């Protein structure tokens, strides 16, 4: 599992690890980046939820911004030279350049440094379920630590497939820092932050304007959807 600040990571150029034809992996990376770019980047998601029936309503605000995206798919750095991942002279990740090159259609996989192809593939498999975190299938988890990852909240799909670790930023919102594949990672799947995750009652989606302010795009209520779903299930019985 990765974090932006994990130390002592041995990284490899992704193109050097592709001994055989890994065009499917490249296609998956581009597919997930396209999904993120179309439906998540520069958007803020306000999740409204209660820890239990008697608890007051809480709001978790998460913004998906260009610097956050590269790490979600398991790429540690985007540079010509192998990055320094420990000590006081750590290399910058160049995550903004990574996203800019993707948007401009000139993403260079010779500059993508990863731990392993398996870790990237694991994250990509989970991220194919990314659209579910903006539906009634999303679940909100609390704070915790897992291995070297510290998070303030977690998002997960209803089925234990995709998990996204969140951390608070200096602003009024949190940001995503790591993708977890809950199918292959049993320890993460059994973490209390995931097992005790709760339903979301409402989701408000806002777009980031050039001024840096947020403009509400839409508000979705999940309570009605859940009630209708239960009614349909009763009719089937």
* pLDDT tens for each residue of 10-24: 888 998 888 766 788
> What is the count of structural domains for the chain?
1
Q: Has residue 6 been placed in a domain?
A: no
Structural domain includes residue 226: yes
The reported pLDDT for the residue numbered 82 is 80
Q: Does residue 2 fall inside a structural domain?
A: no
Residues of the chain with pLDDT under 70: 1-8, 20-21, 84-92, 224-237
- Which pairs with CB-CB distance under 8 Å and at least 24 residues apart come from 148-153? 148/1, 148/3, 148/6, 148/7, 149/1, 149/2, 149/3, 149/6, 149/177, 149/178, 150/3, 151/177, 151/178, 151/193, 153/60, 153/62
Q: What is the pLDDT of residues 173-190, one digit of tens each?
A: 999 999 999 999 999 999
User: Which structural domain range is residue 154 located in?
Assistant: 12-236
């Amino acid at each position: 599992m990765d974090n932006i600040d994990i130390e002592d990571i041995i990284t490899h150029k992704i193109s050097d690890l592709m001994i055989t034809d890994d065009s499917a992996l490249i296609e998956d990376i581009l597919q997930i980046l396209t999904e993120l770019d179309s439906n998540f980047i520069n958007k803020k998601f306000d999740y409204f939820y209660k820890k239990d029936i008697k608890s007051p309503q809480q709001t978790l605000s998460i913004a998906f911004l260009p610097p956050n995206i590269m790490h979600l798919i398991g790429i540690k750095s985007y540079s010509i030279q192998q990055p320094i991942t420990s000590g006081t002279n750590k290399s910058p990740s160049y995550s903004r350049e990574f996203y800019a090159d993707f948007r401009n259609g000139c993403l260079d996989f010779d500059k993508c440094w990863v731990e392993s192809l398996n870790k990237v593939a694991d994250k990509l498999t989970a991220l194919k379920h990314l659209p579910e975190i903006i539906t009634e299938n999303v679940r909100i988890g609390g704070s915790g630590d897992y291995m070297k990852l510290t998070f303030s909240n977690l998002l997960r799909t209803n089925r234990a497939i995709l998990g996204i670790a969140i951390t608070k930023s200096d602003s009024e919102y949190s940001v995503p820092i790591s993708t977890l594949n809950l199918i292959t990672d049993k320890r993460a799947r059994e973490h209390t932050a995931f097992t005790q995750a709760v339903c979301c009652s409402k989701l408000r989606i806002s777009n980031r304007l050039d001024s840096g302010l947020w403009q509400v795009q839409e508000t979705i209520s999940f309570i009605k959807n859940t009630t209708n779903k239960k009614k349909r299930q009763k009719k089937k019985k």
